[in-house]
Amino acid sequence: MFEMFAVRHGQSVANEKNVIQGQTSTPLSELGLKQAAALGKRLVNVRFDAVYSSDLERAMQTARFAAPYMEPIPCVELREWNLGIFQGLTRAQVEERYPDVWKDFLNGAPDFRIPEGENSAEVHARVVGFLKRLEAEVSGGRILVVSHCGAIRSMLKYILGMTNAWPISPQVTNTAICRLLFKDGLWQLATWNDTAHLDGLMPTAGNY
């Protein structure tokens, strides 16, 4: 058995501006830094045996606040969905420049590929590959995984045995804690989107 805390990064500068970032690497905003600090305070008495993080800047920054005693292991499998031609644009700009592509994206066919990006099946496959690696290699203890909204949603689909139908959009707030247990070959969902540490620090923008 092992316990996994899956945490979304704090608000980034791109989140703050409602810019679609995908796999672009952006730092935490001022609010994001405060959220990450609050997360670290929340977890001060929780000791992790290993810390894994998406290698993108906003996630690595958050991981270092959450567990300052341990350098996070960067994992490309934990990156956000590569949103291709949408990256660096606001939603309004995407709807204006690529209305048909945006419509197809929202319709959520698993094999739909954003030009220059990934389809949802590819995102799901790499995230599931990471979880399967944990299943094979981690024999016990508690680990921290810092990732992104889309990737954490893929984790939920996998542990609940759901198909890779897209979209699935349960809330994943910046620095929210999702606690998962793996025991006897099965995953259990213990906590989803726990934001008790974010009093006065809830984001009002930034789902991309």
Catalytically active residues, by annotation: 9, 80
CB contact at 8 A, 10 and 35: yes
Longest pairwise C-alpha distance within the chain: 50
CB contact at 8 A, 9 and 62: yes
CB contact at 8 A, 20 and 91: yes
Which stretches of the chain are assigned E, i.e. beta strand? 2-8, 50-54, 73-75, 142-147, 177-183, 186-194
Phi-psi region of 27 (alpha: psi -120 to 50; beta: other; left: phi over 0): beta
